[in-house]
Structure formats: C-alpha cells, structure tokens
Amino acid sequence: MSAVLDVVSMTCLVAGAFLCLTAGLGLVRFPDVLSRMHAGTKPQVLGVLLVMVGAALRLQGWSNAWMLLLVAAFQMLTAPVSAHMISRVAYRRRHVRRDLLLVDEFGAAPAGDRLYVGDEPGDAPPEEPEIAIAEHVVDDRGPGDGAPRR
C-alpha cells in the first residue's frame, strides 16, 4: 500500500516539476508579455496542484495535507486575478506584438479607458476626455486666460 502511494506521489511530483520547467521555457521563448503570461501562470496552476497532491500523499498527517491543499486552493483563486491585472496593464501600455495577432477585437477601447488610472471604482462616471486633455496641454498663449499651474 505504501509503495503504491509512493509511486503515485512520485509521478505527480515529476509531472509537476516538468510543468515548472516548461513554464520557464515558455517564459524565455514566447514573444510578448501576454504570451509569457500564459506560460508563466497557467502550467503553474496545474504544476503546483500536482506537486501539492504529491507532497500531501507523501507527508503523513492530515494537518499537513490540508495545509498543502489550502496552498493549491489559494493558487487557483489568486493566479487569475494577478494574471488579469498584469495583462490588462500590458495591453494598455502596448506591450503586445500586434503583428502576431490574428484577430484583435479589443483594439477599439471605449473612450473611458483613455485616462485609466486604476483606482476608480467600477461604477465611477467616465471622465470627459477633452477636459482631461485640456488640463494636460498647458495653454500659454494669452496672459488673461488665468495663470498656468507651474
């Protein structure tokens, strides 16, 4: 019984470690941030899941097993959130190789995205782009228009 458990856990560990290697490989080989995000975060979820299951099978005691499964659960809950936040910023900052995109249906971003600050709540009204641009372009033609903020 113990031998069978050992074999199963070793299989899980080797598969998970192999996925870690492919994550690093994809990180080096893929062409842009979004693709590297796929390599960096996704084989990780499966890889960490497999490694945790393998370790939980090998370690005796339920408390260790529960804690390892908790680590796997945290990983599955948090990986999409951080991947989404980074990829969103990457897309906005033009870290995308457009020439490799077959279809891009997200290109026409709505006007509210122009001044994306990242802090406003989801239901905040969009800022007027013209007003915001006028604030940024310092107008120094006429002295009577009000003192420029320097």
Judged by CB under 8 A, the chain residues 65 through 124 that form the site for other proteins are: 66-71, 74-107, 109-110, 113-119, 122
Measured from the CB atom, the residue of 98 and 141 that comes closer to other proteins is 98
Q: Two tokens at 93? A: 């900052």
- Are 13 and 30 in contact, with CB atoms under 8 Å apart? no
Count of other CB atoms within 10 angstroms of residue 92: 14
Measured from the CB atom, the residue of 125 and 144 that comes closer to other proteins is 125
Measured from the CB atom, the residue of 121 and 146 that comes closer to other proteins is 121
Q: Tell the smallest beta-carbon distance from residue 2 to other proteins (Å).
A: 12
The reply to whether 59 sits near other proteins by the rule CB under 8 A is: yes
- Are 2 and 40 in contact, with CB atoms under 8 Å apart? no
Q: Two tokens at 68? A: 């390892």
Count of other CB atoms within 10 angstroms of residue 9: 19
- Site residues for other proteins, 121-140, by CB under 8 A, read 122, 129, 132-133, 136-137
Q: Distances from the Cα of 25 to the Cαs of 35, 46, 65, 76, 96, in angstroms?
A: 12, 16, 30, 22, 19
The reply to whether 46 sits near other proteins by the rule CB under 8 A is: yes
Measured from the CB atom, the residue of 113 and 139 that comes closer to other proteins is 113
Q: Tell the smallest beta-carbon distance from residue 147 to other proteins (Å).
A: 21
* x-or-dash string of contact with other proteins, 11-40, rule CB under 8 A: --xx-xxxxxxxxxxxxxxxxxxxxxxxxx
Name the DSSP class of 111. G
Q: Tell the smallest beta-carbon distance from residue 16 to other proteins (Å).
A: 6
Q: How many residues bind other proteins (CB under 8 A)?
A: 105
Residues written for the chain: 150
SS3 25: helix
